[in-house]
Structure 1
Amino acid sequence: MTRDQNRYYVTTPIYYVNDVPHIGHAYTTLACDVLARFMRLDGRRVHFLTGTDEHGQKVEKSAHKAGMEPQKFTDEVSENFRALARQMNYSNDDFIRTTEARHKKAVQAIWKALTESGDIYLGSYAGWYAVRDEAFYNEDELSRDEEGRMIAPSGAEAEWLEEPSYFFRLSRWQEPLLKFYEENPDFIGPEGRRNEVISFVRGGLRDLSVSRTTFNWGIPVPDDPDHVVYVWLDALTNYITAVGYPNTDSENFSTFWPADVHMVGKDILRFHAVYWPAFLMAANLPLPRRVYAHGWLMNRGEKMSKSLGNVLRPQDLVENYGLDQVRYYLLREVPFGSDGYISHESMVARINGDLANDLGNLAQRVLSMIYKNCDATVPAPAEYHSADRILLDKAAGVLESVRREFAQQTFHRGLEAIWQIVGDANRYVDEQAPWILRKSDRERMGTVLYVLADTVRRLALIIQPVMPHAMERLLDQLNVSGEQRSFAYIEASLQPGEVLPKPEGIFPRYIEPEESQETS
């Protein structure tokens, strides 16, 4: 593996601090966490970044509404996102805030680079601006509501804005962007989103307002402190701030930039797939390798919103169903690039079906039979039959399928491939019937149980990124040492004679509260 292949840099969008974290934030960061954990187990040197976006008019308004100074307001709300990372067991290597000194330095440096390249000029802006989106819109993108207000595609109200402004020559980069998309077909995923971006850019790019004068909660423009840097130029720069920009000769920057994947919600794809690469081209910096826009999670078919009162808090889901169960469900239930529905019923079906019945029951049956029939000791296998080798090879070989699917952010397909092996292992138990072999052929029973235990070990290794706590417990029950839990050991084998602890269930069935009360 080359130096370039040995590193991996994955980022979440940095989350806007005008509200409390919700399931959408948890969903995006979970996908990045799974990628980061997977790549570490696969021998890669990983940098996993998340953080908070703390400047802009919307934050300033939210702070004033709360009766607080913006800095104190952002200090408090940013901490909510740190708490979410702890609650969801995310493994981020860095947490960046746009109010940090390192970030101010980076933003002012990229501003100067864009100025020196001739891509920033002073003018005046007159047009439609949505404070909630911190975005400018062309009139043909807007519609009027019943009260005559101009409404952006996101549903945010847009206001007419006139003020002096610096502009970025986005129009200059239309053809270079289209050429880049053509030469790098995997830069935007999934495919449907890529087509949307290309269509937007082909429709013509207008120069972009990149400063504001009507408020001051932002990073001052170098040499013109009456202006603050537009929040999206500010925010997007976080991805290079975190690896040492403007020191492009630093070890961190040379190791990790360009990023391997920026994970974003589909509502902010334009900023990441059009504006950000244009800024980087103009600053003569390498572009990220991939931008992936996932879909919305909908609550029983409705898009979640505070006004509908159907927003799901990740903490509530974890409290009700369990942390690793929620992690698995969010990536297994809905194809990651698509909009999809989540519900209590489908959550329970996954917990009781995939986890308790399929994987949990497999592990419990195998370990219990070893504990009872092999003196709680890993049995020594005798000669393998073809069915034994097929199952072991499948359990090791599925790693390559998962590696391929996760690299394309198709997490549900990777998990489907794993659960096919879980199903194969359960069928192997029934076909080999070790409880019958116990009376007729104990040597063969030992081989079957060894094959099953080693299959469970291999599955547990691969599932670690998605359900780290549960798989840690399962690998503990197999007495797999910590240094042997990376993917490098996928084709290793359990040590016969290893004494195992008394097995304990990993995934309890979900029982409805009223059922629990009736049986208590």
Structure 2
Amino acid sequence: MSRFYLTTAIDYANGDPHLGHALEKIGADVIARYRRLCGDDVHLLIGMDEHGQKVQQTAAKEGVAPQAFTDTIAARFQGMWSRLGISYDQFIRTTEAHHKLGVQTLIRRIAERNPDDFYERSYTGMYCVGCESFKQDADIVDGKCVLHPTRTLEEVEERNWFFRLSKYQGFLQDLLASNPSFIEPSSRRNEILGLLAQGLEDISASRARLDWAVPFPLVLSNGETQGTYVWFDALPNYLTATGFPDEGYDQRWPADLHIIGKDITRFHVVIWPAMLQAAGLPLPKQVWAHGFVQLGGERFSKSAGVKLDLGEAIDRFGVDAFRYVLLREVPFDGDGNFSWERFEERYTADLANAFGNLASRAMAMVEKYFDGVVPTAAMPEAEQGDAEEIAEYHRAMHGENGWQLHEGLAAVGRLTARANEFTAATAPWTVAKDESRRAELEVILASLIRRIARQTVLLVPFMPEKSAQLWRMLGAPGEVSAQRFDQLESLDVSAWQVRKGDPLFPRPQPQPTAS
């Protein structure tokens, strides 16, 4: 059994979860569930980034202590991930005592191994509280941060500890040259290569006058202690979650996959590997940077007022339908658009009409013609052609050519279309009228149930609840989540007792119009 440790970006504790958060967490959950069906020992880490100036300021505005504020936010995020069926194994919070210890140990380890990597320096720069980072001229338009155009940049002047990031430019360039898949998709790698070509600047590792932070373990020459810069606190969560610095942390570290948004690629592909290299620790195996979800062509942004209520989106057609449509509509390697119109169109076409109707019709015919017992019959030649689409599904899902989750769903959609075409071509309702063609009917209906059962397993990562429901309706043994992909080809549906119930995906009801 192979270990597979994957992480998402920890979410910043300054608001409610939104559609962009959901895309990332659902995508990671799909990969985790897929790898479990492959037989891997999976560990999915998510969590909350709870320190920093932005949290401190927001808590003060609400008149509560930062810890009480982050406790409330963390509970709201965990509640949403539970509702969305995110099967995480660990939820880390950067306010945990062990995480703070791990961050300080990592910083001390860097300082001990490379004494010149941290140095004191006075600095003046334009700081974006929204990003929790200093901004270069290229990141500023009309005096505003390009990612947070509603926030006013602050001119900050202070003496801090700096990390000698520039020292690791050659190392990072060699890393991406020798291991191009370290950061994917390729568009994100090209951005980082362009950044490296411009030359790296050293970065602040501590902040003055920041109380809501992990105390920076090194003391300035004037005796001042400072707070750890939020990214030096946040990035190590992937490591501290394994138990670092305690013995045995390397049973899980290094991570197999970091899943992040494209706006924080620089932190994960430049700063984080440099920190680990400086500490003499293994690097994660891969960083995957997904794109943004847009609403009507605009990026979701709390500050800009572009938002959609997640609860409303889930309520529309249910959790699994929302998971399906989001990952079918938004490519996991680029930006995508979300709209209510496309949501309903995709739900109706793919789930209510194509897959749901296929399953309903097949089970109804088995009930009608065979008293609900799936007949024993050989596999027809038409079904054997499904193998290539199943292989396409695995190529999209396994990560060897990128994490193309939308393409995995597209492959399942083609399997559904093939099964519906087979149904239309063989016309089992006509065959059933001729008793002499009983054996032919057995072949048709056994094939349909077998194909539906395979598609049900393939859809488990995306729609775990509906897949489990359909598996029970098919009369299949055990739990669908306990199935393994390497056993799908030999799946035997003989003598399963199907029980067609209510539609899995009810067709949308017309909305009443105003008179």
Regarding TM over 0.5, the answer is yes
Task: Indicate how the Cα distance of structure 1 residues 395 and 133 shifts in structure 2: closer, same or farther if over 3 A, else same.
Answer: closer
Q: State yes or no: 1:207 paired with 2:202.
A: yes
String of CA shifts for 1:338-396, please: whole Å, max 9, x gaps: 22211111001111001111111111111110011111101111x544224334x4565
Amino acid at match of 1:170: L
Which one of the candidate residues 410, 432, 437 is aligned to 1:438? 432
Tell me what 1:415 maps to.
Answer: 409
Tell me what 1:345 maps to.
Answer: 341
**Structure-2 separation of matches of 1:366 and 1:395:** 21
**Structure-2 separation of matches of 1:396 and 1:27:** 24
Q: Check the 8 A contact 1:186/1:290 in 2, yes or no.
A: yes
Q: State yes or no: 1:67 paired with 2:66.
A: no
Tell me what 2:278 maps to.
Answer: 282
**Structure-2 separation of matches of 1:262 and 1:384:** 41
**Structure-2 separation of matches of 1:241 and 1:409:** 26
Q: Secondary structure at the match of 1:355?
A: helix
Which one of the candidate residues 121, 124, 143 is aligned to 1:123? 121
Task: Indicate how the Cα distance of structure 1 residues 371 and 28 shifts in structure 2: closer, same or farther if over 3 A, else same.
Answer: same
Tell me by how many angstroms 1:80 deviates.
0.9
Task: Indicate how the Cα distance of structure 1 residues 384 and 197 shifts in structure 2: closer, same or farther if over 3 A, else same.
Answer: closer
Tell me what 2:455 maps to.
Answer: 459
Amino acid at match of 2:320: D
**Structure-2 separation of matches of 1:160 and 1:307:** 20
Tell me by how many angstroms 1:152 deviates.
4.7
Q: Which structure 2 residues correspond to residues 326-365 of structure 1 after superposition, within 5 A?
A: 326-365=322-361
Percent identity over the alignment? 38
Q: Tell me which moved more, 492-501 or 272-281.
A: 492-501
Task: Indicate how the Cα distance of structure 1 residues 74 and 470 shifts in structure 2: closer, same or farther if over 3 A, else same.
Answer: same
Q: Check the 8 A contact 1:262/1:292 in 2, yes or no.
A: yes
Q: Check the 8 A contact 1:333/1:412 in 2, yes or no.
A: yes
**Structure-1 separation of matches of 2:179 and 2:374:** 50
**Structure-1 separation of matches of 2:383 and 2:90:** 44
Which one of the candidate residues 176, 192, 197 is aligned to 2:192? 197
Q: State yes or no: 1:166 paired with 2:153.
A: no
Tell me what 1:233 maps to.
Answer: 232
Q: Secondary structure at the match of 1:514?
A: coil
Runs of 4+ in 1 over 6 A off after TM superposition: none
**Structure-2 separation of matches of 1:407 and 1:479:** 36
Amino acid at match of 1:401: R
Tell me by how many angstroms 1:503 deviates.
3.7
Q: Check the 8 A contact 1:370/1:378 in 2, yes or no.
A: yes
Q: Check the 8 A contact 1:220/1:226 in 2, yes or no.
A: yes
Tell me what 1:29 maps to.
Answer: 25
Task: Indicate how the Cα distance of structure 1 residues 386 and 208 shifts in structure 2: closer, same or farther if over 3 A, else same.
Answer: same
Q: Unpaired segments of 5 or more residues in structure 2?
A: none
String of CA shifts for 1:15-58, please: whole Å, max 9, x gaps: 11011111111111111000011101110001101100000111
Q: Which structure 2 residues correspond to residues 34-73 of structure 1 after superposition, within 5 A?
A: 34-73=30-69
Tell me what 2:506 maps to.
Answer: 508
**Structure-1 separation of matches of 2:306 and 2:512:** 23
Tell me what 1:79 maps to.
Answer: 75
Q: Tell me which moved more, 321-330 or 398-407.
A: 398-407
Tell me by how many angstroms 1:504 deviates.
3.2
Q: Secondary structure at the match of 2:234?
A: helix
Q: Unpaired segments of 5 or more residues in structure 1?
A: none
Amino acid at match of 2:242: V
Task: Indicate how the Cα distance of structure 1 residues 348 and 218 shifts in structure 2: closer, same or farther if over 3 A, else same.
Answer: same
Task: Indicate how the Cα distance of structure 1 residues 494 and 173 shifts in structure 2: closer, same or farther if over 3 A, else same.
Answer: same
**Structure-1 separation of matches of 2:25 and 2:397:** 19
Tell me by how many angstroms 1:239 deviates.
0.3
Q: State yes or no: 1:401 paired with 2:395.
A: yes
**Structure-1 separation of matches of 2:153 and 2:421:** 59
Q: Check the 8 A contact 1:380/1:450 in 2, yes or no.
A: yes
Q: State yes or no: 1:313 paired with 2:312.
A: no
Q: Secondary structure at the match of 1:226?
A: coil
Q: State yes or no: 1:268 paired with 2:267.
A: no
Q: Secondary structure at the match of 2:225?
A: strand
Amino acid at match of 2:231: W
- TM-score if structure 2 supplies the norm length? 0.94
Amino acid at match of 1:506: L
**Structure-1 separation of matches of 2:362 and 2:509:** 24
Task: Indicate how the Cα distance of structure 1 residues 365 and 96 shifts in structure 2: closer, same or farther if over 3 A, else same.
Answer: same
Amino acid at match of 2:422: Y
Task: Indicate how the Cα distance of structure 1 residues 508 and 491 shifts in structure 2: closer, same or farther if over 3 A, else same.
Answer: same
Number of residues of Structure 1 aligned to a counterpart in Structure 2: 504
Q: Tell me which moved more, 92-101 or 132-141.
A: 132-141
Task: Indicate how the Cα distance of structure 1 residues 237 and 25 shifts in structure 2: closer, same or farther if over 3 A, else same.
Answer: same
Tell me what 2:492 maps to.
Answer: 494
**Structure-2 separation of matches of 1:161 and 1:411:** 42
Which one of the candidate residues 5, 8, 11 is aligned to 1:12? 8
Task: Indicate how the Cα distance of structure 1 residues 185 and 154 shifts in structure 2: closer, same or farther if over 3 A, else same.
Answer: farther
Tell me by how many angstroms 1:398 deviates.
4.8
**Structure-2 separation of matches of 1:470 and 1:384:** 26
**Structure-2 separation of matches of 1:384 and 1:336:** 35
**Structure-1 separation of matches of 2:281 and 2:302:** 39
Q: Check the 8 A contact 1:324/1:468 in 2, yes or no.
A: yes
**Structure-1 separation of matches of 2:318 and 2:86:** 15
Q: Check the 8 A contact 2:476/2:496 in 1, yes or no.
A: no
Amino acid at match of 2:243: G
**Structure-2 separation of matches of 1:277 and 1:258:** 11
